[in-house]
Chain A
Amino acid sequence: MAEQTPKPEELSKIDYHPPKKGWMDPHVEFRKGTYCYSALPKNLQYLGMPNPREWQPFDADWKLPPNWKQIILDGMKERLEKYRSFRLFMDICVRCGACADKCHFYVGSGDPKNMPVLRAELIRSIYRRYFTPAGKMFGPLAGGRELTEEVIKEWFYYFYQCTECRRCSVFCPYGIDQAEITIIGRELLNLIGCNINWVIEPVANCFRTGNHLGIQPHGFKDSIDFAVDEIEDITGIRVEAPIMKKGAEILFVMPSADYFASPHYYTLLGYLMLFHEIGLDYTMSAFAGEGGNFGLFTSHEMMKRLNAKIYEEAKRLKVKWILGGECGHMWRVAHQYMNTLNGPPDFLEVPVSPITGTRFENAKSTKMTHIMEFTADLIHNGKLKLDKSRNDHWRVTHHDPCNVARGMGLLEEPRYVINSVCNHFYEMPENTIREQTFCCGSGAGLGTDENMEMRMRGGMPRGNAVKYVKEKHGVNLLTTICAIDKATLPAVVDYWVGGVEVGGIHELVGNALVMKGEKERTADLRGTPFPAKEVKAHA
């Protein structure tokens, strides 16, 4: 953790009283720990994106193109004509304020411009000034504001202080979705080269190598091989892990963090063990080696450019359907965008579980099934032998990833699987789970170390809910099915709670899964030895 991040006691002293100065003043201060660094020119150049240059948010001169104002206004006009959501959300907000304290960044910072309503007003005020008769005539009286360089800086600060989690849109009486406004705000900023490296570098990597981390094909293979070896150590079984095998029945796509980061890695072990045990005919791919899509955090176009690989690879490998791993925004894209962007996938078939025969009618058009749906179906049909007691050292709570909860509605399957593989599961308070789940505070490309203070602020509501179940039920594991969560929640829970680990659900499945011919397991997938037999008598 960055050393300058204040202690939790200091950070949680939050003044919710708005400043005297009205919000129309765009000035922002780029204080260390509360913003992300700019995108490196080489990454923008590689992607063919505008205005690559050396600059940083704290610089006085942002080296914008000379006609930046026209670019932004033209960009707004184009998007008002292309997205009903954008035009409508610019027009109908009544500023009732119901969204205000629903945002984790507002709750954690007290900065009024982090209220979703005001974050949207930052761009709405420009819309009113340049695109509505009242705003053109009456200016500030009609809520209009001049577009200045200061406004661009303000947009940058606050649109990269929104994780596109959609929690505000659950509470808005008109369904106004700040994620939609942030997505378009960021698109506009990208037109003049105001972007952050933590988003653009993964995008460039993914475009080139097939994954956000920039791992090349041999690295992908090494990583999977390593996992296979590790599974053999734990279970005595050598699993098969096919890569780019033509004619396999299923293409399995996961977020790249699963094969290159921790604690994601234990989830990968879980997948591979499960697929082996049920004899699944599947393949992974190093080319379509990324389910996550930081294009979503850049522009609709970039999302499409990255996402195209999945269907392309499925077609090349002649698989029948696609199975997707544990990831959050990957599933927003797969569920709500992929088929529209790069479909229709006529060359695929409606997903059918080869083990249970279940036809996934809910995925009959997109032809991609979520692994929680797949595993829940296996368990429901009694196809897995599970020893719950092998997770008895865990007292589990579950964090619903924002995108999976509010952009998909996958709420029951994870709970069904958790309850099938472990004995101690406790829900966090109802205002913090399911469709009301709180973001980790680091999503949408904000999970970088230089942004640590803001991440901890944004993570406060989640941390607080974890603390509650830790104190009440002794929870020591927070499960989640999102790669960004797995990467960033450990810092959040260490900071706000302490003594709670973060892991994936397929890690727990892997622990509980009794495999044919396995040796007696003495440790879980993390290598933590199981408690002595007599201690787990209650199992």
Chain B
Amino acid sequence: MAGLSQERGGDPRDRRWRAWTTATLLAIASGAALAKGVSAPFTLSVTVFPAFKDVVDCGTRQQGAAVSLSCSAGSPAAGTSPRFLLNVYRDGAQVGTVEGSTVPGTLTSWKVVRIADRDFVEIVVGW
């Protein structure tokens, strides 16, 4: 009878092993069922310009709401497209740059507009 009882109930270590295995498999299965995800691809792009040459330094002067821009003497070499680079600072720390290309005489004005916690550079270009 003792042998039969052992056969029906099984070795306690085997029962624990089966229970642990079952629980683990259930946990894995339920975890796999719960973990869902959706993905979205996106693109990075970069445009690289060579280092600046024939640099003309410009400074700003603020008079009330108006900011005037003045540059040192100099003009781009004939046939080249001037580019501009604005170093953007906030609270004394540089937070980035704004740059672009133009042609002589087309950049008529620019100003910095602060809205909430953002500074926007507005550049007026005449075509």
A is bound by B:
no
Residues of B in contact with A (beta carbons under 8 Å apart): none
Residues of A in contact with B (beta carbons under 8 Å apart): none
